[in-house]
Amino acid sequence: MLEHSFFPITTPQKPNTPYGKKGTSSLAAQLAAAIPENEFTPDPNTRYGEIWMGDHPSNPSSLILDDGSKVPLWKLSSEDPKRYLGAEVLKKFGDTPSGFEENKEGGEPLKHLPFLFKVLSFDRALPLQIHPNRVLVDHNYKPEVAVCISEKFDGFIGFRPLLEIQRFLGLVTELVSAIGDDEVVKEILGLQLEDPSALGADDERKLLKRLFSGIMWRKDEVIAEQCQKLATRLDEHGDGAVVGDKYMALGRVIRKCLKDYPNDKAVFVGFLMNLVSLKYGEGVVVGVDEIHAYIEGDIIECMAWGDNMLAHGFQPPEERSSAKVLISSVAFHTHSNPDLSRIPPSLVLPSSPWEWSKEGKTTHYLVPLEEFELIHVVLNHKGDFEETTPFPRPINGPLILIVVRGAAEIRLRDGGESMVMERGRAVFVRPDVVWRITATAQDGADIWGAFHDESGV
């Protein structure tokens, strides 16, 4: 079995995800339950928010052997890294400390994939969070990308232009009270922000930090009172009443957050942030220290290997990270969005045809990170196929694939080894493998993948 070129792997649920969808309404639960080796049956009253695919020891996948037994993926990638990670990955990332030295005898650094791949499914806001450029759970920072795989996705990502925040400060009295810093509110309201030269980047950062800090430090009872007032206004006068019809979508999402988290300070941080709305196949890039809170949808998520997070909001008070540490870590910069697009241009994850695709059935997401790349294979009917070209050479790093719709068969391009990939199946593909995938379901298959290749093809 260990001589194979590709292996089925488990897709473990992340425990304790109160933002996840309930039971089988969760895509993450559907995909996990479809694979017998996961030994998982969804409970209709339990929320399931995430499945992970990778070798991070916080929630690792296991290779499924021919006899049905399982071997942790981190164990193989650490003990035989050249075979399972590839020489190029080792050359670039092999000396990166993991923070999990205890998992290997002798205390040597754990060798691992450069990325962590997930499916998320949620109908309540995830915690207001950043992935900091500092040591917390492990030694790795965690920039990420997210691609919508449901009809729609809503999320707060990064800070909106100060001109828009200025507008909200003049309209939303509850927001002003939640900030509790009349001086900074007065200063912002007095600025001529229609003139791009009216405020330098450093001054903008200072003002954003004061607004954000005011909300973070405000007493919970004050926040609760303002949340109740805001909820009453929205209920009585509609989504556009608070911020105007131009921003009605924001009013709708704020109302939802107030329903799910009635007295939470993150509701007011939402007025400072970009409301990003994605359609199927659209993606965003979330940088290190970028404040974000995903609200509703199903997504493919991939990030640099790591589990570091600071969060303060859309969660129980006892689970909050230190407000002081969060404030000192957040990247206080805005994302210009002059056309009020659903996605501010600087957050867009671009895509193009994949250069390794021989049949043209694969979209390549142009991830601006060195740790991983993302692909989406669409096969439209039974017998439809895609294969990788071996020229100028095969992919020299590891690849993980997951089937989210339909079913397919993966085999070596030149024949021989093959494997059935039913819906929910995740597969680990070794470096330097040239493969062919053929749809076996009548309606074809949708397959998502994350991989590393050192050439950056």
Which whole number is the average pLDDT over 379-385? 98
What is the pLDDT confidence band of residue 105, given thresholds at 50, 70 and 90? very low
- Across the chain, mean pLDDT equals 92
Report pLDDT digits (tens) over 19-50. 999 999 999 999 999 999 999 999 999 999 99
- Judged by DSSP in three states, 285 sits in strand
- Shared domain for 186 and 329, answered yes or no, is yes
Last residue of a domain, one of 329, 347, 365: 347
Q: Are residues 360 and 343 in the same domain?
A: no
- Residue 100 is predicted with a pLDDT of 47
> Quick one: 245 and 374 in the same domain?
no
CA distance from start to end of the chain: 30
CA-nearest of 54, 2, 6 to 432 is 6
The total of structural domains in the chain comes to: 2
Residue 355, burial from CB neighbour count under 10 angstroms (0-12, 13-18, 19+): exposed
pLDDT above 90: residue 273: yes
- Classify residue 292: in a domain, yes or no: no
List the structure tokens of 56.
């991070």
Per-residue pLDDT, averaged over 117-142, amounts to 80
Summarised one tens digit per residue, pLDDT across range 306-349 is 878 899 999 998 999 999 999 999 999 999 998 889 999 999 99
pLDDT for the residue 79: 83
99 falls within a domain: yes
Q: For 138-188, write each residue's pLDDT tens digit.
A: 445 568 999 999 999 999 999 999 999 999 999 999 999 999 999 999 999
- Domain contains 367: yes
Both 359 and 415 in one domain: the answer is yes
State how far the Cα of 294 lies from the Cα of 299, in Å rounded to an integer: 10
What are the Cα distances from residue 194, in Å, to 88, 323, 453? 49, 32, 44
Rg, Å, the chain Cα set: 23
CA gap 177, 406 in Å, rounded: 51
- Alpha carbon 305 to its chain centroid, in Å, reads 12
Percent share of the chain, pLDDT over 90 = 78
Q: Are residues 436 and 328 in the same domain?
A: no
Last residue of a domain, one of 331, 347, 363: 347
Give the C-alpha separation, 167 to 33, whole Å: 47
pLDDT of residue 140: 52
Helices (H), 13-123: 27-33, 73-79, 81-84, 87-93
Averaged over 202-212, what is the pLDDT? 98
Is 144 labelled a binding residue? yes
The count of other CB atoms within 10 Å of the CB of residue 432 is 16
Condensed to tens digits (0 to 9), the pLDDT of residues 353-376 reads: 999 999 999 999 999 999 999 999
Residue 80: predicted pLDDT? 87
Domain assignment present for residue 111? The answer is yes
**Two structure tokens written together for 65:** 């052997």
Does 153 map to a domain?
no
Which domain covers residue 343, as residue numbers?
161-272+320-347
Strand, helix or coil for residue 339: coil
Looking at mean pLDDT, say which of 54-58, 153-157, 412-416 comes out highest.
Answer: 153-157
CA–CA separation, 80 vs 94, rounded Å?
12
Give CA separation, 133 vs 55, 109, 157, 309, in Å: 21, 20, 17, 10
One domain, residues 168 and 211:
yes
pLDDT digits (tens, 9 = 90+) for 61-100: 999 998 989 999 988 888 889 999 998 888 888 755 554 4
> Quick one: which of 4, 3, 1, 12 has its CA closest to 65?
1
For the cut 70, the answer to whether the pLDDT of residue 200 exceeds it is yes
Please indicate, yes or no, whether residues 37 and 62 belong to a single structural domain of this protein: yes
**Strand extents, DSSP E, 241-395:** 273-279, 283-286, 292-304, 310-311, 351-353, 362-365, 373-379, 385-387
Same domain assignment for residues 183 and 257 = yes
Angle, CA of 310, 314 and 317, to the nearest 5°: 75
165 and 98 belong to one structural domain: no
Q: Is residue 361 within 8 Å of residue 378, measured between CB atoms?
A: yes
Domain co-membership, 356 together with 442: yes
**For residue 200, what is the domain's CATH number?**
1.10.441.10
Q: Tell me if the bond preceding 392 is cis, omega within 30° of 0.
A: yes
CB atoms within 10 A of CB 412: 16
pLDDT at residue 101 is higher than 50: no
User: Is the per-residue pLDDT at 392 higher than 80?
Assistant: no
* Domain-ending residue, one of 312, 347, 382: 347
For residues 168 and 90, membership in a common domain is answered with no
362 neighbors 377 (Cβ within 8 angstroms): yes
Question: Per the domain annotation, does 133 fall within a domain?
Answer: no
Clarify whether residues 37 and 119 are in a common domain.
yes
301 within domain boundaries: no
Token pair of 195 as six digits: 């003139």
Q: Is 376 assigned to a binding site? A: no
Q: Is residue 155 part of a domain?
A: no
- What average pLDDT does the segment 273-293 reach? 97
131 C-beta neighbours (distance < 10 Å), count = 25
Any binding-site annotation on 131?
yes
| DSSP track, 371-397 | S-EEEEEEE-STT-EEEB--SS----S
Q: What is the domain-level CATH number for residue 35?
A: 2.60.120.10
* pLDDT greater than 60 at residue 106: no
For the segment 412-435, the average pLDDT, to the nearest whole number, is 94
